[in-house]
Amino acid sequence: MKQLEFESRNQDFWREMDDFLSQDIGPKASFPGDFPKRYRRLCQHLAIAKSRGYAISLVSHLNDLVKRGYQAMYGNKSIDRQNMLQFFAYGFPAVLRSNSRFLWVAAAVFVLPYVVYMLGCWVNDQLLYSIMDSRSVRMMETMYEPGLDKFGRERQSASDIMMFGHYISNNIGIAFRCFATGIFAGLGSLFVLAYNGLVIGGVSGHLSNLGYGETFYPFVIGHGSFELTAIVFSGAAGLMLGYALIAPGKLDRKTALRKAAGDAIKVMYGVFVMLMIAAFIEAFWSSSSLTPNAVKYAVGAFLWVFVFYYCFFFARTRVAAYQSLYGTR
Amino acid sequence: MKLDTISQIETPEGVDLSAEVVGLTPRALAYLIDFLIRIGLYFALAIALSFFGVVGYGLLLIIWFALEWWYPVLFEYFRDGQTIGKKSMGIKVVNDDFTRLTFAAALTRNLLRAADFLPLFYGFGALSMMVSNRFQRLGDFAAGTVVIYAEPSGNTNHALSKITAIAPSQTLSDEQQAACINFTLNRGNISAARLEELAEIIRPILPSNTVDPVAYIKGVGKWLMGATSEAPADDGSLDRSLEKESAASLDSGGGK
């Protein structure tokens, strides 16, 4: 069959398919029952056109139709059907537990500098200036001065909503960058973790040295549970990317990276939600000077226990079943 | 060695599907368009929210965060791989098996912008695209995505009616036939002057009485596509017999 005859015979079918596939085919679109058959016919036409060496323009037109048909046919299977509630109940803890060694490394890289600088700045009130300029240190000091209405704020006029916005754009941005730069053999994540460990540890030691502990610790204990843990998690997710490139194992680096990113992005879903919660607590709860410290400590302690219980101990058997979904590397 | 920008995958039906991957420049332009849109939106909202004091400022920070990180993710997920900039450049993001972009992939590739952006304005991203054979930046590698042209060059048969089909005077190989047909259909991107220039190259092997080589080759192309020859070229009996032979062999072999 020559090209023109082939074209005139099938023109109508192609036009029909073109119209059908031009509709906005969303992730949840449904198809008539004979779609697979029609799609296969299209595939056959493409194969014929190619093997008979028909003109490039016809081949590319059919290629385009098949491509859209293929997306409609197979695109839907890759949508995550797992519902969100289920993911946060079991999926997120499962992906954390499957990748626990990255969590240990990330936690160590954050906590060790934290402890060292906290103790250092507690003993030596000049040490903090080694990592922060004097203006920032002074700002930190004024933010936690006892007797303020609102703690943790540069200006007392700042409203809760404003601080909420600030925590979201600042903290979540840091976590996202901490994750992304892990692709450079983990170096970016390690740097962000260690640096934040130094600064946060240093500031807490410095303020304790000044005797501001009674305002600082009640302020940070509540949201710290979500915020600090989430930063460590984002670092761990970054390390997963970096490690896949350094030690891809039996896979080639590209495949290993992709596989690791599949797990890491699930960690990042959780990180995002945790930091939203942290920002909310920090803006609307932690800053208040009216709530008695004892209540803040009690709530803070509860939140810490909650976060750790949820991430590492909650629903062990159910979560273990989910863990088989994730690469235990 | 691969010189073109065509990327191929095999579908479960066993046909090879191809798409043209997009290089640095159109993607940079798409990014620029998106960037201007985001900046524009941000300033418009900044002015509007400036009437609401510190609350407005707080909302503005949240909006900035959303525009910076979520604008591309949500557009690419909900608008089939296209942000406004990508749509205007006629390009889109797909999973590397050419299926519709998943949410996880959209988020992964856009979070990793932070890495691609380093050390200076998408330095690593550009480097990664240049060394990869499918123009993937780091985020594309991690997410398993490619950016392809959304629209193929169209099937333009409309100019065919003006051409008179001419039976070729000699046997043509498969490649030669394909070349003639593609010359005839001229996918709309070769100028008339260039067509003439190309046709002049093979004038020595065309029948000596050919006046317009462009028309002749186009005619042969149309004939090869299956149009009946209305005005067969008169080139002597030897050529005629060759022509019949080639036509016969073509028909038995499936034809063109």
- Does A163 reach chain B within 8 Å, measured CB to CB? yes
pLDDT values of chain A reduced to their tens digit, one per residue, 329 residues: 777 888 888 888 988 888 888 776 655 556 677 888 888 998 999 988 888 877 777 888 888 888 888 888 876 554 455 678 888 888 899 889 989 999 999 999 999 999 999 999 898 888 888 888 888 888 888 888 877 777 777 666 667 888 888 898 899 999 999 999 999 999 999 999 999 999 999 999 999 888 888 888 888 999 999 999 999 999 999 999 999 999 998 999 999 999 999 999 999 999 999 999 999 998 888 887 788 888 999 999 999 999 999 998 888 888 887 777 665 44
Beta-carbon contacts of residue A169 (< 8 Å; ≥ 6 apart): B61, B62, B64, B65, B68
Contact A199, A132 (CB under 8 A): yes
Q: What are the distances in angstroms from CA A137 to CA A115, A171, A287, B26?
A: 19, 19, 19, 46
- Does A166 reach chain B within 8 Å, measured CB to CB? yes
- A61 and B152 in contact by Cβ < 8 A? yes
> What's the DSSP call for residue A288?
B
Contact B166, B233 (CB under 8 A): yes
Identify the residue among B59, B62, B190 best suited for mutation to test binding to A, counting A beta carbons within 10 A and taking the highest. Answer: B62
Overall average pLDDT of the B132-142 stretch: 92
Q: What is the pLDDT of residue A327?
A: 52
- A248 or B157, which is more confident: A248
Contact B96, B142 (CB under 8 A): no
- Does B15 reach chain A within 8 Å, measured CB to CB? yes
Contact B137, B116 (CB under 8 A): yes
- A180 and B111 in contact by Cβ < 8 A? yes
From CA B45, how far away is CA B50, in angstroms rounded? 8
Q: What is the pLDDT of residue B237?
A: 37
- Does A60 reach chain B within 8 Å, measured CB to CB? yes
Q: What is the pLDDT of residue A219?
A: 87
Distance from CA of B236 to the nearest CA of A (A): 26
Q: Tokens in use for A259?
A: 């596989």
Question: Which of A:247-286 have CB within 8 Å of B?
Answer: 254, 257-258, 261-262, 264-266, 268-269
Q: What is the 3-state secondary structure (H, E, C) of chain B?
A: CCCCCEEEEECCCCCEEEEEECCHHHHHHHHHHHHHHHHHHHHHHHHHHHHHHHHHHHHHHHHHHHHHHHHHHHHHHHCCCCCHHHHHCCEEEEECCCCCCCHHHHHHHHHCHHHHCCCCCCHHHHHHHHHCCCCCCHHHHHHCEEEEECCCCCCCCHHHHHCCCCCCCCCCCHHHHHHHHHHHHCCCCCCHHHHHHHHHHCHHHCCCCCCCHHHHHHHHHHHHCCCCCCCCCCCCHHHHHHHHHHHHHHHHCCCC
SS3 A150: strand
Distance from CA of B181 to the nearest CA of A (A): 6
Q: Angle A165-A168-A173 (CA atoms, 0-180°, nearest 5)? A: 135
Rg (CA), chain B: 27
- Does A88 reach chain B within 8 Å, measured CB to CB? no
User: Residues of B with CB below 8 A from A4's CB?
Assistant: 225-227
Q: Which of A47, A61, A40 is nearest to B15 (CA)?
A: A47
| Longest Cα–Cα distance in chain A | 92
Q: What is the pLDDT of residue A27?
A: 54
pLDDT of B234 over the 60 cut: no
User: Residues of A with CB below 8 A from B45's CB?
Assistant: none
Residue B145, φ and ψ in degrees, nearest 5: -125, 160
Alpha helices in chain A (DSSP H): 3-22, 35-51, 56-74, 84-86, 92-98, 100-123, 134-143, 160-167, 173-180, 187-210, 213-246, 253-281, 293-308, 316-323
Q: What is the pLDDT of residue B247?
A: 44
Q: What is the ipTM metric for this complex?
A: 0.85
pLDDT of B178 over the 60 cut: yes
- A58 or B3, which is more confident: A58
- Report CA A212 to chain centroid distance, whole Å: 34
Q: What is the pLDDT of residue B249?
A: 41
- B103 and A63 in contact by Cβ < 8 A? no
Distance from CA of B25 to the nearest CA of A (A): 23
- Which among B95, B118, B141 has CB closest to A257? B141
User: Residues of B with CB below 8 A from A23's CB?
Assistant: none
Q: What confidence tens digit (pLDDT) does each residue in B55-90 have? A: 888 889 999 999 999 999 999 998 888 999 999 999
- Which among A4, A70, A163 has CB closest to B17? A70
Q: Which of A222, A219, A215 is nearest to A145 (CA)?
A: A215
Cis amide prior to B119 (ω within 30 degrees): yes
pLDDT of B1 over the 50 cut: no
Distance from CA of B175 to the nearest CA of A (A): 9
Sign of CA dihedral B83, B88, B93, B94: positive
- B11 and A254 in contact by Cβ < 8 A? no
Q: What is the pLDDT of residue B254?
A: 39
Q: What is the pLDDT of residue A24?
A: 62
From CA A223, how far away is CA A294, in angstroms rounded? 16
> What's the DSSP call for residue A129?
G
From CA A138, how far away is CA A143, in angstroms rounded? 9
User: Residues of A with CB below 8 A from B218's CB?
Assistant: none
From CA B256, how far away is CA B182, in angstroms rounded? 12
Residue B16, φ and ψ in degrees, nearest 5: -85, 125
Q: Which of A113, A101, A256, A91 is nearest to A183 (CA)?
A: A256
Q: What is the pTM of this model?
A: 0.79
Residue A22: how many other CB atoms lie within 10 Å: 9
Q: Tokens in use for A219?
A: 């302020």
Residue B165: how many other CB atoms lie within 10 Å: 22
Closest residue on chain B to A283 (Cα):
B58
- Does B103 reach chain A within 8 Å, measured CB to CB? yes
> What's the DSSP call for residue A54?
-
Most confident of A65-79, B91-105, B174-188: B91-105
Nearest 10 degrees: Cα torsion A15, A16, A20, A21:
-40
From CA A259, how far away is CA A58, in angstroms rounded? 38
Q: What is the pLDDT of residue B235?
A: 40
User: Residues of B with CB below 8 A from A176's CB?
Assistant: 69, 111, 114
> What's the DSSP call for residue A130?
G
Distance from CA of B193 to the nearest CA of A (A): 21
From CA B235, how far away is CA A188, in angstroms rounded? 74
User: Residues of A with CB below 8 A from B178's CB?
Assistant: 53, 55-56
Mean pLDDT computed over every residue of chain B: 80
B162, burial (CB in 10 Å: exposed 0-12, middle 13-18, buried 19+): exposed
From CA A265, how far away is CA B204, in angstroms rounded? 63
- Does B61 reach chain A within 8 Å, measured CB to CB? yes
Closest residue on chain B to A79 (Cα):
B102
- Does B6 reach chain A within 8 Å, measured CB to CB? no
